Structures are given as C-alpha cells and as structure tokens.
Structure 1
Amino acid sequence: MRLVLALILCVQCSNAHAVGDEDDYAPPRPSETTRDCADGTVWDAERESCVDPDETTNDRKTMMRDVRELAYAGRYQDAAALLDRLPHNDPFVLTYRGFIARKHGDQISANKYYTAAITADPDNLLARSYMGQGFVEAGRLDAALIQLSEILKRGGRETWPAFSLRSALKSGKGFNY
C-alpha cells in the first residue's frame, strides 16, 4: 500500500524531464519519409527517392529511425513493413510491434510483445512505459504503477518513458508519442 501511495504521489511530481537531441526518447524529427513520401513508401537514402519499404536499401539504424517516425505519424502499416526487415526477436522490434498492436486496440498482443521485449532487455524503459500506458487505457492503474516503479528503479526518473507514463496516469490516456 505504501508503494502505491508513493507512486501516486510521484505522478504528481514535477513533469520536468530531460529530453534532448541525443535522447533516444525524443520525438522523432520529420524526415523525407514522413514529409515527402506517400503512404506505403519510405525514403531511401541511397536512391534519394521514396520506395516500397520492402525495397529500401537503408541500413538498420535508419530503418529503426523510420519505424519510430512512421509509428508516431500513425503510419502503422509502413512501420510494420520495416519491422519485418529487422530481426524479429530484437527488443526494439518487439517494443514497436507492441506499440502498433496497442494503437490498433489489441492490448493482449501488445502485452505479449512488450513482455517479450522486457524479457530480452529488462531495462527497456520504453517498452515498460508503453505497456503501462496500455494498462492505464484499460483501467489497470495498479499494473501501470508497477511499470512506473520499474522505470524509476532502473534509473529512468527524468526520461521520456517516465514522463509519458506519469502523464498517462494523470490523464487516463496514453500517448501517440
């Protein structure tokens, strides 16, 4: 009970958070992929044009950046197509598959992906935050608070995952970003 009270009070803490350019949790900046490419295509740096996600020659890091950008832009099908090109058991891939499932209203699948991501990397704060936001949306505040506690325990106090989960607990809604 004390833990729950402490976490509820923590939700009321300052919303100050450290999110900078070097922070992997900063909102993705629009690139050619979302600025110039139509749905169903992504920017290919080598070709300097929009291509089908299955045809991109982009490196892994660029594809991961594009997955984030597309997911936050609501282009889930394009993000999923890029995820198909990356290792299926990668914690990043599992986290974003969970994000996409949650945004499609499939909380059961989302939690399976998040759990797999957290099992692969217990310090995956973003997966914990997204899972917690799904719990908030489902009215399971106790489970969301457990995820917030884990984020804080793992050094994530001043990170986007902590901030977004605290905000979800306050508002009752998860973030699109």
Structure 2
Amino acid sequence: MFRIAATLGLICLPMGALAVGPEDDPPLPTQSTTTCSAGMIWDPGLGRCAVIRNSRLGDDALYRTARELAYAGRYEDAIATLGQMSDPTESRVLTTLGYAHRRAGRVDLGMAYYDRALAADPDNLLARAYLGQGHLLAGRYNMARRELDEIRARGGAGSWPETALDRAIAAGAAFSDY
C-alpha cells in the first residue's frame, strides 16, 4: 500500500518540484513560506519575519530562502532575496533568478539568466534542466533534447536534472507544469 501511495505521489508532483541534487532538491517549507507574508522572510537571528532587505541572513541562507520562495510561487520575493546576496553573478543565483522569472511568465528573461548561469558554470546541471524546460515551453524540443544530452555528457546521468528534463520532454510542453 505504501509503495503505491509513494509512487502516485511522485507521479502527481508538478514538474516545478522536480529539481536536482541534495542542495537542489525541491526545498522544504520553512517559516519564510508558512509564516511570513509577502515582502518578508524568516530571520532566525531575530526569531521573526523581517523585511527582505533588512534580514541578516548570510549568502547560503539567502539562497536557500530564495529557492523556497520561488518554488512556493513567491517569485518577486525570491528575486528580491537574491538581490541581497553578495555576488549576484554566482551561477546558482543566476539559475534561481532564471527560474523565478520564467515561472512568473518572463520566459525570455529567465532564459537569458540560464545562459548567464551556464557561461559562469557550464556544469550547472540545474540550469541546463531549467533551460531545457524553457525550450519546451517555446516548442523547441530539439534544443531541450540537446540540454538533456549535455546533462548526461557532464556526468548527470541518473541525477535529478536528467530525470526532471527527461520527464518534461516525455510529457511534452502542453502537459508540463514547470
């Protein structure tokens, strides 16, 4: 019974929940998305929600919080949180900016961020998976397939980026929710 429920749970996950690696698996909800309202994030140092620009979080915590916000559909808050990081040119920052903009409907801007992320780190498999999903949205299946091949060629066979993009390609852009 448990196996059936677990399998159904995986099948029912929206494509946006498919991501990569331990650091890049879909983030779990924290107080930033369960307690804090728009424009606010949880600041453990303060023990309460804080205005994004006033938080005292370090870069890693800001990054994790921004990903959580983006996956929760709070795209503008994710973008604002990433704006507080000390190096906005980091590949992981650019990837998450791309995700937030693409999911907010600014697909071309999101794609430009993925290109910048890959220029900074060609081995960023998460950026490649998201770029491939963006290509699917635009109906460019051959380019999505090319990103899947790149993921595999760069050691990503069996990883979440490969799985996420492979499932998105199999489902087709009309079905996917990423």
TM-score by length of 1: 0.84
> Which residue in the other structure is 2:93 paired with?
93
Deviations along 1:58-106, whole A, 9 cap, x unmatched?
1111111101100000001110111111122111111111112211222
Aligned to 2:4: none
Equivalence for 1:26: 25
Q: How far apart, CA to CA, are the structure 2 residues paired with 1:34 and 1:53?
A: 13
Q: What corresponds to 1:158 in structure 2?
A: 158
Instruction: Tell me the alpha carbon deviations over residues 107-153 of structure 1, each in whole angstroms, 9 at most, x when there is no partner.
Output: 22122111110010000000000000011111100000110000001
Rounded to whole Å, the distance in 2 between the matches of 1:38 and 1:158 is 37
Q: Which residue of 2 aligns with 1:65?
A: 64
* Residue-pair matches, total: 157
Unaligned runs of 5+ in 2: 1-10, 12-17
SS at match of 1:154: helix
Q: Aligned to 1:43, what secondary structure does the other structure show?
A: strand
Superposition RMSD in Å: 1.7
Distance 2:155 2:121 in 1: 14
Q: Distance in 2 between matches of 1:143 and 1:125?
A: 15
CA distance in 1, matches of 2:109, 2:47: 36
Q: Is the partner of 1:23 in helix, strand or coil?
A: helix
Is this contact kept in 2: 1:25–1:161, CA < 8 A? no
Query: d(CA) in 1 for partners of 2:47 and 2:139?
Result: 45
Q: Post-superposition, which runs of at least 4 consecutive aligned residues in structure 1 deviate over 2 A?
A: 104-107, 173-176
More helix by share: 2
- Stretch moving more, 25-34 or 99-108: 99-108
Instruction: Give secondary structure in 2 for the equivalent of 1:50.
Output: strand
1:141 alignment counterpart: 141
Counterpart of 2:167 in structure 1 is 167
